[in-house]
Copies of this chain bind each other. A is one copy, B any other.
Amino acid sequence: MPDEEGHPSREEMDLRCVMNALADPLRYQVVSALVKDAEDKERHCSSFGLPVSKSTRTHHFRILRQAGLIRQVDRGNSRMAHLRRADLDARFPGLLDLIRQNPAALPGSD
């Protein structure tokens, strides 16, 4: 079962759940940005420039977290997100390569 913060274990990850998370353009944009980052780089949840309100952002990050795509950790006041690269590579080999080769069409965020 997922931990208290909703992170599934590597074995619990479900491909359809991941697909569903990636089907949304905002969420794909976040994951695509994380994939391009350096290994395990942590990013502020508000650093992706999502054109939505705080509550909507929380909603999208929860879906990404519950799908197992990202891990969120508390850093004092803020919350940092980073790709679960090792878990994803182990559980869904090739997935991150696919995303890397198909970057999100961002409105000027490259």
Contact = CB atoms under 8 A, between A and B. Distances in A.
Q: What number of copies of this chain does the assembly contain? A: 2
Interface string A66-101: 000000000000000000000000001111011100
B102 A98 contact: no
A16 interface: yes
Top-4 shortest CB links A-B: A94-B94, A20-B23, A15-B102, A19-B22
Contacts of A23: 16, 19-20, 23
Interface residues of A, number: 18
Interface of A: 14-16, 19-20, 22-23, 25, 28, 92-95, 97-99, 102, 104
B16 A25 contact: yes
